[in-house]
Amino acid sequence: MDKIAGGHPLLPVLEVLPAAVYTTDAAGRITFYNQAAVDLWGWRPEIGETEWCGSWRLYWPDGRPMPHDQCPMAIALKENRAIHDGEAIAERPDGTRVPFLASPTPLHDATGAVIGAVNMLVDVTRRKRSEEHQKVLMAELQHRVRNTLAVIRSIACQTAETSESVEGYAMHFAGRLDAFARVQAAVTRDPSAGIDLASLVAEELLTCAAQEGKQLNLSGPAIRLQPRAAEILGLAIHELATNAVKYGALASPRGHVAVAWRLEDKDGEQRLKIEWTETGVPVLSLAPRRSGFGTELLTQTLPYQLRGTTTLTFKPGGLQCTIEFPAKGVLQ
């Protein structure tokens, strides 16, 4: 061991290794360590120190305290065997913790007697964080899959209840599923960025062949929605656009749709207000006799999910729809 501590040819190599390396004698006294070991431990022990291990606390991977006589190095010396990737957590003198893998190997003299051990410690903090991140992503994926299936089931059931024929059901279900899929595609591109409200509205209307600037006008500040809010709003805009194509402003070359949104302070709470206004519709003067999927979505489902209100006004010239809900928990 004196050769290692005093000037062994391997010393320069051990010093530049990215992994922490140290050696001890048979009694556990430290005889060598490199800079990576200092970085991992968070302090610099004295060569030959007998109680150097007491400067840090060890824990099992599940967080239970690990006695030093049960750490990988102690086991390797006591049982005279190499240990590969023994996992533990070290608490540095400053209180920070670092998970690591230890691979201690006993050292022997010419007679085979144990004269010490060499240990390599690998900081696995990044790997642990990556694993935790993967767990979060997997949980989020599972949640989103369950939510997606629930939404599709709801669309299928409600469309069936309000359809008068198989052909009508197939057409409406396909359109609503496409609208929902467009939001999912946007979420998939960047789950953390949210969904741009202007793009959400524009895409639905342009899908219905509305000509921006001629039949369509959008106005409002830049707002990004959380995925769940974007899903229900995307379906709501789809229903309004579909109705406009069949009966409203987009059914006539002279019709026009204006969609405006703004943030307002109301009773100490910031709220998002969206106004859909149709003009140039000469026929529509009364509300429809029958409440369909779109009406129920706008007046019941959307207010319930977003804790807001929806007002539909059927008047000569076109439909007026006002959607309002709290911004908290909805905006990205």
pLDDT in tens, 172-186: 788 787 877 877 787
Q: Could you give the domains of the chain?
A: 2-123 (3.30.450.20), 128-326 (3.30.565.10)
Helices (H), the chain: 2-7, 11-16, 35-41, 72-79, 125-162, 166-189, 197-207, 227-246, 293-296, 302-306
What was the pLDDT predicted at 287? 52
Q: Quick check: pTM over 0.75?
A: no
Band of residue 82 on the pLDDT scale cut at 50, 70, 90:
very high
Q: What is the reported pLDDT for 193?
A: 73
- Cα–Cα distance for residue pair 301/305, rounded to 1 Å: 6
Query: Would you give the distance in Å from CA 191 to the centre of its chain?
Result: 7
State residue 2's pLDDT score. 40
| pLDDT at res. 160 | 78
pLDDT number for residue 53: 67
pLDDT tens readout for residues 264-313: 988 888 999 999 999 888 765 555 555 677 888 888 888 888 898 999 98
First-residue to last-residue Cα distance in the chain: 60
Nearest-10 Cα torsion for 15, 17, 19, 25: -40
What's the pLDDT score for residue 291? 60
pLDDT band, residue 9 (cuts 50/70/90):
low
State the Cα–Cα distance between residues 125 and 131, nearest whole angstrom. 10
**Residue-level pLDDT at 261:** 95
Local confidence band at 54 (pLDDT 50, 70, 90 cut-offs): low
Are 284 and 252 a contacting pair, CB within 8 Å? no
Which tops the pLDDT comparison, 184 or 90?
A: 90
What SS3 class is residue 68?
helix
Instruction: Grade residue 124 by pLDDT with cuts at 50, 70 and 90.
Output: very high
Burial of 118 (0-12, 13-18, 19+ CB in 10 A): buried
Residue 4 confidence (pLDDT): 46
CA distance linking residue 94 with residue 53, whole number of Å: 15
Query: What is the rounded average pLDDT of the residues 200-218?
Result: 76
Whether pLDDT at 1 is above 50? no
CB 68 within 8 A of CB 58: yes
The stretch 84-104 carries a mean pLDDT of: 91
CA angle 8, 14, 19 (to 5 degrees): 155
What pLDDT shows up at residue 5? 45
Task: Report, as an integer, the average pLDDT of 226-241.
Answer: 88
